[in-house]
Amino acid sequence: MLRKYLVGIGILLTLCGAAQLVQAAGEGHVHSVQERYDIRFNVQGTYTSVIDYTWRAVDLQGAATLGQQYLVYDVGRQEIEVLEAETIPAAGGAIKVPRSDIKVQDGVLGGVSYPEQKLLQITFPKLTAGDAIRLRYRFVQKLPDLPGGTSRIYYFYRDMIRDDVSVTLRYPQALALNVAHNELNVVDEHIADGQRRLRLKFSSTDTVLPEPISINSWQQTPYIMMSTYSDWKAIADAYQQGAAKKAAVTPEVQALADEITRGETSQREQAKLLYDWVRKNISYVASYVGNGGWIPNDTAAILKTHYGDCKDHSTLLEALLEARGIPASQVLIYADTENYLLPPVALLWFNHAINYLPTLGLFLDSTDSQMPFGILPETDSDKPVLVTKNFSAVERTPIATIDNFKMNRRVYIKFAADGSAVRTSEIDGYGRAAAEVRSFIEDIGPGQEQDWVKKTLAEAGLDGEGTLQIVKSAREDVLGFQYIEKIRNYVNQPEAGVLAFAPGVTGPISLGKILRRFTQPERTADAKCDAFAVNDLIDIEMPDAMQVLYLPKDVDMHEGPIFFEARYERLGNVYRLTRRWGSNSTKSWCSAQEYQAMRPVMNRIDKALGARLVFVMREESTAAASSGSAASHN
């Protein structure tokens, strides 16, 4: 995995991929002694930056981190030249990195190859705790990322103490460069000889770990953002300029679209057939192709290989839809579960491409092979996007609601006097939750259900056997399964104990994960808190030999979008829990203040989910059991 330290604080965003970051804990493992950024933008929308930094290893982990630095660049559009590289021992006397330890590799990130990307690897010799490295290099953007301009971001993460950071930005007065910065102080700004110069400084005295599940965390990170694009429309138009011709309706595309939709007249059903064909027949691979990862392949190349990245998927689907007279556009989006706001200046911020069908009002992401037609994966939901064809304004993808991220659970537990039980769990997922069920089943693998059952029982410390089978629905956005367990040691000491109202498996919505979001006493950053719904009907049938001493009390809690209702009742020997809980949130995140308001009720819900009935074996049953046991020993 590429370390965040590799790029001298900057992130190069490339479509269909995102940088992975490593955060330090405590005081940090690396200390920034000095950093210099000299950035020059040109009228043509290109730029050159000379970056010079000296970082010291605080401990052995820091030394291991700094031992190899990686610089990422695109061979077609960019150049990198190492100007100086040396190890600076704590005792003094710099050791230069030999040229043999500066190597160029093909771009590989997370096991995926990027043909247009290269990695420049610098290995620093004789590095240990207390030593420092110095790296000075020149980065040249030879060609614009997209027609009409380019953009750049430098983040100064709080995972290390930074003593002295200086950023000098130079550009022609005639260039309308948009600049935004956060927590950097402007120390000099002037115009001379037709050139603008802006100098900024930054320093810090401690490290700060990011808060868990932080949303829009770039807002709380020191940064400088620079862009030659005037607005978001300029970026949408620039992308469309390169992508439009790639989505041309060729005779091959027309014939394929006609074949896929033969006999279907409804536009919506035709769109569904075409979407399903692309997501099932074109493998999604995050390999960058074309001009720097921003221009897709043409449809002939995609159909020849039957694979492609996000741009290729959206290009082919757009062409197929247009072939059937269904208007479609490609859409630029930042696909993740952390970023839900656009930055203050128009940047090449996006890492993914999907489709929009204006006449049907639908966003589609065919790269997710599990997602039913008309439903977006979590990473695409509630995101600001650029619909690049005929762009008019920044739009937003639909948010997940309790109707398309919901699960119903029906659980029946038949408990026996000897402590054994038969537990049947029937779980249905709706919308995005149906896709989670599908992934769950596919991860197990065909014919591997019994192995999964044995492993699941063993991990829970249960002695028994069971079966797992899919329960299909007439609706594509609904999928469920049934899990039956016959457990011999459900309760080890049946004379007295407690029984939980619990299914054999959680299901497609992780309640524990949702509850763990609210464990922080305080927070300052936005947090993840989107909509979901869980409906439970759980019955526990008790034998006549058992007496129930305690049945939990009903619960009714509401706080903002959060709701939790639980009803307990006795129906003869059956003790029933009817429960519904979830969130009607109208956005995918909540502010720190909203988090604080919801946290108490979520903690109470956590306790309520642990409710159990208390039972004891009736005295006559205990006596009979003891007598039978004594007789058997005589």
The CATH number given to whatever domain includes residue 472 is 2.60.120.1130
- On whether both 200 and 55 belong to a single domain, the answer is yes
- On whether both 461 and 365 belong to a single domain, the answer is no
CATH code, domain carrying 44? 2.60.40.3140
Distance between CA atoms of residues 296 and 245, nearest Å: 10
- On whether both 245 and 212 belong to a single domain, the answer is no
Can you give the pTM of this predicted structure? 0.86
- Amino acid 436 reads E
- On whether both 137 and 223 belong to a single domain, the answer is yes
Average pLDDT for residues 557-568, to the nearest whole number? 94
In a domain, 471, yes or no: yes
- On whether both 60 and 166 belong to a single domain, the answer is yes
In a domain, 570, yes or no: yes
Distance between CA atoms of residues 292 and 311, nearest Å: 12
- On whether both 88 and 224 belong to a single domain, the answer is yes
Return the ∠ at Cα 150 (arms to 344 and 156), rounded to 5°: 55
CATH code, domain carrying 343? 3.10.620.30
pLDDT at 542 over 60: yes
For 390, the domain range is: 235-396
Task: Report pLDDT digits (tens) over 73-101.
Answer: 888 889 999 999 999 999 888 999 999 99
The Cα-based distances of 407 to 61, 465, 531, 634 in angstroms read 44, 25, 12, 54
In a domain, 632, yes or no: no
Cα radius of gyration (the chain):
30
DSSP string, 231-243: SHHHHHHHHHHHH
DSSP string, 109-162: ETTEEEEEEEEEEEEPSS--TT-EEEEEEEEEE-S-SBTTB-EEEEE--TTSEE
Distance between CA atoms of residues 398 and 587, nearest Å: 9
In a domain, 623, yes or no: no
pLDDT value of residue 512: 87
Q: Which two tokens stand for residue 246?
A: 């790639």
Instruction: Output the average pLDDT for the chain.
Output: 89
In this structure, the dihedral spanned by the alpha carbons of residues 108, 113, 116 and 122, taken in order and rounded to 10 degrees, is: 20
- On whether both 515 and 415 belong to a single domain, the answer is yes
- On whether both 175 and 245 belong to a single domain, the answer is no
Residue owning tokens 């993914």: 352
In a domain, 630, yes or no: no
The Cα-based distances of 14 to 115, 131, 140, 553 in angstroms read 13, 34, 16, 54
- On whether both 576 and 455 belong to a single domain, the answer is yes
pLDDT at 628 over 70: no
Return the ∠ at Cα 286 (arms to 478 and 430), rounded to 5°: 10
Distance between CA atoms of residues 21 and 4, nearest Å: 5
- On whether both 35 and 173 belong to a single domain, the answer is yes
In a domain, 314, yes or no: yes
> Sign of the CA dihedral 278, 283, 284, 290?
negative
Number of domains forming the structure of the chain:
3
* pLDDT level of residue 211 (50, 70, 90 thresholds): confident
Can you list the alpha helix ranges (DSSP code H) found in 49-91? 60-66
Q: Which of 228, 256, 273 is the last residue of a domain?
A: 228
pLDDT at 514 over 80: yes
- The pair phi, psi for residue 488, each rounded to 5°, is -80, -30
Residues 6+ apart with CB under 8 A from 223: 153, 154, 155, 156, 180, 181, 182, 183, 184
- On whether both 593 and 487 belong to a single domain, the answer is yes
Average pLDDT for residues 215-233, to the nearest whole number? 94
